[in-house]
């Protein structure tokens, strides 16, 4: 029985509710009046229910789809402006005891080389990331109680935060590790992580079990209830997502929104971010073996309707997507992207050796961070290296209330420009620097609050003289 506040996975992600939502959406997909009224209502930025969002996603009328894109753009502009936050993944270890059939790190894969970074190797990787200009990382590790115990993850986080190389610093470490206990989530919270990220992969229990035939991850309920444990442990910011292509996108799109509704109803705050990865090729993984891969046009609609349904939630797209594909989703919803990524264990220091042998997936967008920054500037976006909120204690419901009141822009805009300035001073190529300086000059005028603007302008001058790490 569907119960949004239940603690039981199969009740807050109720299969019958998802199937009846799909039926409802298909039965009403030609109801123009209803769909128009939902699109109109979405303009007030209060979001939509999973049922309403499912109907929008089902609609095939080109004119109405165009209207949805328009509203998604409006919402994106209102909350995120033209800022895009940058991050990079850091793979610590690809040892894994699970059997996920879509991931080359699965325990039975004997062709992939297994590696785990030592603390010294982590240091070298982080210095390489700092030298690119990154300030925000997403840690990745397979699940392996003996090779990657929680102590290893905690020690690695400590190492990462401690490294200060030239003007570099990693200021926010997000963590993507396997579902774990409340005690371990408390340890992660105490280590000062930013967001705890865990993808559901698919919400369809039967398919989930088939895709995860062995290892602790095969326990659907334990995995699905992980975010509840994380939030109970005091981790305020959690990031959810499904791997599109594993199951029908309709089912997982609805499950994802039901999960967001569950967190909001239970903890008073929904997910901090939603990621939208699509299945891609890797070592012993061929996407042709999967029947549900999602085409580009549907992918764009998924991103737009998520933006409309949960306006306050950041949306992330990784280098799984190509430059062209990323470009198509920036304006309608995505607020964070990775750049210059290596999805291998040790690939930032030694890409020749380790990208070939230890990658989790084939990166589609292989450009350097400077190329990505330059491309964003050309498209009119402000690449932001901001990490201010979590460091200022603006997390969870405190963060969400500022977003909902529309006040966060007073922080995001100057922070984006000041962190871009740091990037330009320390890491950018001459061409990127020129474009970035122009962008900062033009965009500083858009800082809504005059007092904040004056301080930000002063800070820009101080950054030019060598000072670092200003934030609102």
Question: Which spans of this chain sit near ligand SF4 (rule: CB under 6 A)?
Answer: 85, 96, 98, 100, 103, 105-106, 142-143, 178, 217, 384, 386-389, 408, 411-412, 415
Residue 278 near residue 303 (C-beta atoms within 8 A): no
- The residue (of 65 and 153) whose beta carbon lies closer to ligand SF4 is 153
- Give the pair of three-digit tokens for residue 270: 């929904």
- Measure the CA–CA gap between 157 and 163, rounded to whole angstroms: 10
Query: Containing H/E element for 241?
Result: strand 238-241
- The residue (of 98 and 358) whose beta carbon lies closer to ligand SF4 is 98
- The residue (of 107 and 298) whose beta carbon lies closer to ligand SF4 is 107
Picking from 269, 249, 247, the residue whose alpha carbon sits closest to that of residue 260 is: 269
Residue 386, classed as helix, strand or coil, is: coil
Q: CA angle at residue 121 from 106 to 391, to 5 degrees?
A: 90
- The residue (of 105 and 375) whose beta carbon lies closer to ligand SF4 is 105
Picking from 132, 97, 81, 16, the residue whose alpha carbon sits closest to that of residue 370 is: 132
Minimal distance in Å, beta carbon 472 to ligand SF4? 7
Minimal distance in Å, beta carbon 392 to ligand SF4? 8
Rg (CA), the chain: 21
Minimal distance in Å, beta carbon 303 to ligand SF4? 19
Minimal distance in Å, beta carbon 9 to ligand SF4? 18
- The residue (of 95 and 299) whose beta carbon lies closer to ligand SF4 is 95
Picking from 358, 218, 223, 336, the residue whose alpha carbon sits closest to that of residue 276 is: 336
- Measure the CA–CA gap between 221 and 201, rounded to whole angstroms: 13
Minimal distance in Å, beta carbon 23 to ligand SF4? 31
Minimal distance in Å, beta carbon 3 to ligand SF4? 28
Minimal distance in Å, beta carbon 93 to ligand SF4? 9
Residue 385 near residue 423 (C-beta atoms within 8 A): yes
Residue 55 near residue 35 (C-beta atoms within 8 A): yes
Minimal distance in Å, beta carbon 390 to ligand SF4? 7
Residue 187 near residue 233 (C-beta atoms within 8 A): no
- Measure the CA–CA gap between 316 and 242, rounded to whole angstroms: 12
Minimal distance in Å, beta carbon 387 to ligand SF4? 6
Residue 344 near residue 359 (C-beta atoms within 8 A): yes
Positive or negative: CA dihedral 263, 264, 268, 270:
positive
- The residue (of 51 and 216) whose beta carbon lies closer to ligand SF4 is 216
Provide the CB-side half-sphere exposure for 320 (13 A, CA): 18
- The residue (of 343 and 387) whose beta carbon lies closer to ligand SF4 is 387
Minimal distance in Å, beta carbon 147 to ligand SF4? 11
Residue 422 near residue 462 (C-beta atoms within 8 A): no
- Measure the CA–CA gap between 49 and 98, rounded to whole angstroms: 34
- The residue (of 106 and 187) whose beta carbon lies closer to ligand SF4 is 106
- Give the pair of three-digit tokens for residue 169: 């610093």
Between the alpha carbon of residue 4 and those of residues 9, 22, 99, 355, the distances in Å are: 10, 18, 30, 42
Helix 409-426 vs helix 450-464: crossing angle, to nearest 10: 10
DSSP letter at 201?
B
Picking from 153, 175, 171, the residue whose alpha carbon sits closest to that of residue 162 is: 171
Minimal distance in Å, beta carbon 66 to ligand SF4? 29
- The residue (of 69 and 208) whose beta carbon lies closer to ligand SF4 is 208
């Amino acid at each position: 029985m569907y119960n949004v506040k239940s603690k039981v996975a199969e009740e807050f992600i109720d299969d019958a509710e998802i199937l009846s939502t799909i039926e409802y959406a298909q039965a009403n997909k030609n109801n123009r009046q209803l769909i128009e009224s939902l699109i109109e209502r979405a303009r007030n930025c209060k979001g939509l229910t999973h049922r309403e969002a499912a109907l929008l996603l089902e609609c095939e009328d080109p004119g109405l789809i165009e209207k949805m894109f328009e509203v998604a753009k409006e919402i994106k502009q209102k909350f995120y402006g033209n800022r895009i936050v940058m991050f990079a993944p850091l793979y610590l270890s690809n040892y894994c005891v699970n059997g996920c059939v879509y991931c080359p790190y699965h325990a039975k894969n004997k062709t992939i080389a297994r590696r785990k970074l030592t603390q010294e190797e982590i240091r070298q990787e982080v210095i390489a990331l700092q030298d690119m200009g990154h300030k925000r990382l997403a840690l990745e590790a397979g699940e392996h109680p003996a090779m990657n115990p929680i102590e290893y993850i905690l020690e690695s986080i400590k190492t990462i935060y401690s490294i200060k190389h030239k003007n570099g610093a990693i200021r926010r470490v997000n963590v993507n590790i396997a579902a774990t206990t409340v005690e371990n989530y408390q340890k992660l919270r105490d280590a000062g992580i930013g967001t705890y990220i865990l993808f559901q992969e698919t919400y369809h229990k039967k398919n989930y079990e088939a895709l995860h035939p062995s290892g602790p991850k095969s326990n659907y309920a334990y995995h699905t209830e992980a975010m509840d444990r994380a939030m109970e442990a005091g981790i305020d910011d959690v990031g959810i997502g499904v791997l599109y292509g594993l199951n029908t996108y309709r089912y997982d799109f609805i499950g994802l929104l039901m999960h967001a509704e569950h967190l909001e109803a239970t903890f008073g705050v929904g997910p901090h971010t939603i990621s939208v990865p699509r299945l891609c090729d890797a070592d012993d993984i061929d996407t042709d073996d999967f029947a549900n891969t999602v085409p580009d046009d549907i992918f764009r609609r998924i991103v737009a309707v998520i933006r409309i349904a949960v306006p306050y939630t950041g949306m992330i797209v990784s280098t799984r997507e190509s430059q062209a594909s990323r470009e198509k989703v920036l304006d309608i919803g995505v607020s964070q992207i990775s750049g210059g990524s290596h999805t291998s264990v040790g690939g930032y220091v030694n890409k020749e050796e380790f990208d070939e042998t230890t990658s989790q997936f084939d990166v589609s967008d292989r450009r350097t961070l400077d190329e990505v920054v330059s491309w964003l500037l050309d498209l009119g976006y402000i690449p932001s290296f901001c990490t201010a909120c979590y460091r200022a204690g603006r997390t969870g419901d405190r963060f969400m209330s500022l977003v909902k009141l529309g006040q966060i822009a007073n922080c995001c805009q100057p922070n984006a420009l000041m962190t871009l300035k740091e990037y330009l001073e320390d890491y950018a190529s001459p061409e990127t620097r020129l474009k970035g300086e122009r962008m900062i000059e033009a965009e500083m005028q858009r800082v809504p609050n005059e007092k904040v603007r004056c301080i930000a302008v002063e800070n820009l001058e101080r950054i030019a003289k060598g000072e670092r790490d200003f934030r609102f």
